[in-house]
C-alpha cells in the first residue's frame, strides 16, 4: 500500500518511541523512573476536578471553534498579570500547545518555506513542520554558552525570501535556556526588518529559577501583530492530559485565517475547557510553590550530574529539562541497554535520546540525552544513582566526550 513521502520522512518521537523497552523492563518486574517525558508528578489543582464534577448539561454540545468565552477571558486576565496585552478576540483555544504550533505553521507556511529555530529544539517541532512540508533551519546554539542565541548578524544571514518565522521555545525545551530581554529585542528587530513572524512557545513561562525577570515575546509591544504566542495548561497546572492550549496574536487577519483550521476540527473538548477555565483561577501561591519545587529538583539533578565522570551539562535556568552529553557511543543504544540490562535494586531509568532534538538527518546530539526533572527529589536521586552506575558499566562507553 502507498504512504505519503510526507509521513515516511516524519520521525517517530524520541520521547515516546523507546517506550516498548521500558514496558519490557516493567514486565520483567523492574521499576522505571521516567525522565524521558515532561510528565510531572505535581498535583493538578483541585479546581479542575471541582469544575469537572459540577459540569452537568443535558447534551455535551460542540463549543465555539474559537473556544469558550469564559476560558478565553480567563486567559486574557492571566496574560494581563504578565503585562501581555491580549484581548478575547486575540485568543483562540487549541488542543494543547501542540495544535497551536501546528496551526501557526499551517497558517504561514507553504511547502519549502523556512522556519528558523534555535537547535536543539523540542522534537515535535519536526512533526509540525513536516506536516506542512515546511523546512526547519537550525540556528546552532551551544551548551557551553547556556544555549543562548548567537549574535543577530549570524541569525540574519540565515534569513532568505522563504523564511516565514523565527520559532523559539522560551524557557527552552530541551535546553533550559531563558532568553534575555536583549535577545528578545534582537530577534524582534530582525522579524520587523524582514517582515517575518516570531512563534513564541512559552508554555514554561512560570518555570525560571534564578530570580531573573522573565521577558516574554508578548512584551515586544510594537511587534504584537507578528508575535504568534503559543500556550498551554499542561505544564503550568500539571494537567498534560487535559489537552488545552491557545494561540494568540494581535493580528485580525491572522485570526481570520487560522479560524478556518479551528472550524475544520470543529472545537476543543467542552468539558476540558470548563476544567481549564477553573485552572486559570488557581491561586498564585500554587505556581510559586511549584516553582520552588522544580528549582529544588533541578538542583538535585544538576549536582548529581556534575558528579558523574565524563558527563557534561550546563545548569538549566528554566523549564524542567537538561541536555546531557555522555561518554557513550550512542545515547539511544545506551538508553535501550540501560532499560534492558542495568538496575539498582530492581530499579532503572529512562531518558530521551538527544539526536531527536536536532534537525532531521543531523548527526548532532548522538551522545546526548534529554532528562526531565519532573519527579520528586527522592526519585531523582535514585534515578541519578542508576544513571551513574549504568554509565560506568555500559559496554559502549567511550573514554572522552566527542567534541
Q: Is 197 in the site for its own copies (CB under 8 A)?
A: yes
Alpha carbon distance 333, 21 (integer Å): 11
Name the one range near its own copies by CB under 8 A: 83-91, 130-138, 294-302, 333-341: 130-138
Which residues face 135 on adjacent strands?
Answer: 114
Asked if 284 interacts with its own copies (CB under 8 A), we say: no
Among the listed residues 374, 61, 12, 51, the one whose alpha carbon sits nearest the alpha carbon of residue 242: 51
Query: Is 16 a binder of its own copies (CB under 8 A)?
Result: yes
Alpha carbon distance 396, 225 (integer Å):
51
Q: Does 39 bind its own copies (CB under 8 A)?
A: yes
Q: Is 27 in the site for its own copies (CB under 8 A)?
A: no
Q: Is 56 in the site for its own copies (CB under 8 A)?
A: yes
Per CB under 8 A, which region of 39-47, 75-83, 147-155, 363-371 contacts its own copies?
39-47
Cβ of residue 104: shortest distance to its own copies, in angstroms?
11
Q: What is the distance between the alpha carbons of residues 346 and 28, in angstroms, rounded to a whole number?
A: 9
Spatial separation of the C-alpha atoms in residues 323 and 368, rounded to whole Å:
7
CA–CA dist 230, 171 (Å, integer): 12
- Contacting residue, 79, 128, 320, 373, with its own copies by CB under 8 A: 128
- Minimal distance in Å, beta carbon 78 to its own copies? 19
Give start and end residues of each alpha helix (H) in 113-251.
Answer: 124-131, 152-156, 181-193
Restricting to residues 230-269, name those near its own copies by CB under 8 A.
Answer: 238-243, 251, 253-254, 257-261, 263-269
- 168, three cell numbers: 523559539
How far does Cα 51 stand from its chain's mean position?
Answer: 27
Judged by CB under 8 A, does residue 226 bind its own copies?
A: yes
Q: Among residues 73 and 329, whose Cβ is nearest to its own copies? A: 73
Q: Confirm or reject binding of residue 127 to its own copies (CB under 8 A).
A: yes
CB of 2 to its own copies, least distance (A): 6
65 counts as binding its own copies under rule CB under 8 A: yes
* Cell 531527536 -> residue: 356
CA dist., res. 288 & res. 277, Å (int): 19
133 contacts its own copies (rule: CB under 8 A) = yes
Q: Is 152 in the site for its own copies (CB under 8 A)?
A: no
Amino acid at each position: 500500500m502507498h504512504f505519503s513521502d510526507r509521513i515516511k520522512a516524519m520521525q517517530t518521537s524520541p520521547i515516546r518511541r523507546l517506550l516498548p523497552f521500558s514496558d519490557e523492563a516493567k514486565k520483567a518486574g523492574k521499576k522505571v523512573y521516567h525522565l524521558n517525558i515532561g510528565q510531572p508528578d505535581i498535583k493538578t489543582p483541585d479546581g479542575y476536578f471541582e469544575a469537572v464534577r459540577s459540569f452537568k448539561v443535558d447534551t455535551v454540545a460542540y463549543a465555539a471553534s474559537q473556544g469558550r468565552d469564559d476560558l478565553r477571558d480567563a486567559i486574557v486576565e492571566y496574560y494581563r498579570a504578565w503585562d501581555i496585552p491580549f484581548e478575547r478576540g486575540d485568543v483562540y483555544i487549541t488542543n494543547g500547545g501542540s495544535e497551536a504550533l501546528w496551526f501557526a505553521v499551517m497558517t504561514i507556511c507553504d511547502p519549502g518555506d523556512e522556519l528558523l529555530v534555535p537547535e536543539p529544539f523540542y522534537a515535535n517541532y519536526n512533526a509540525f513542520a513536516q506536516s506542512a512540508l515546511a523546512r526547519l533551519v537550525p540556528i546552532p546554539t551551544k551548551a557551553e554558552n547556556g544555549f543562548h542565541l548567537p549574535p543577530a548578524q549570524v541569525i540574519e544571514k540565515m534569513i532568505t525570501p522563504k523564511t516565514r518565522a523565527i520559532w523559539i521555545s522560551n524557557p527552552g525545551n530541551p535546553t533550559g535556556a531563558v532568553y534575555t530581554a536583549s535577545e528578545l529585542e534582537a530577534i524582534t528587530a530582525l522579524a520587523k526588518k524582514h517582515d517575518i513572524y516570531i512563534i513564541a512557545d512559552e508554555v514554561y513561562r512560570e518555570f525560571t529559577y534564578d530570580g531573573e525577570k522573565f521577558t516574554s515575546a508578548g512584551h515586544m509591544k510594537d511587534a504584537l501583530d507578528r508575535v504568534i504566542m503559543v500556550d498551554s495548561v499542561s505544564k503550568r497546572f500539571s494537567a498534560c492530559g487535559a489537552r488545552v492550549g491557545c494561540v494568540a496574536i494581535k493580528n485580525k487577519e491572522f485570526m481570520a485565517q487560522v479560524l478556518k483550521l479551528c472550524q475544520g476540527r470543529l472545537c476543543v473538548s467542552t468539558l476540558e475547557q470548563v476544567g481549564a477555565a477553573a485552572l486559570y483561577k488557581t491561586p498564585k501561591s500554587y505556581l510559586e510553590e511549584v516553582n520552588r519545587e522544580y528549582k529544588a529538583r533541578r538542583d538535585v539533578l544538576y549536582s548529581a550530574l556534575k558528579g558523574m565522570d565524563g558527563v557534561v551539562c550546563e545548569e538549566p535556568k528554566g523549564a524542567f529539562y537538561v541536555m546531557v552529553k555522555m561518554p557513550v557511543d550512542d545515547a539511544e543504544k545506551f538508553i535501550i541497554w540501560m532499560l534492558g540490562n542495568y538496575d539498582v535494586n530492581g530499579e532503572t531509568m529512562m531518558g530521551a535520546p538527544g539526536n531527536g532534538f536536532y534537525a532531521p538527518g543531523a548527526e548532532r546530539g548522538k551522545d546526548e540525552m534529554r532528562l526531565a526533572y519532573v519527579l520528586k527529589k527522592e526519585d531523582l536521586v535514585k534515578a541519578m544513582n542508576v544513571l551513574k552506575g549504568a554509565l560506568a558499566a555500559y559496554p559502549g562507553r567511550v573514554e572522552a566526550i566527542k567534541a
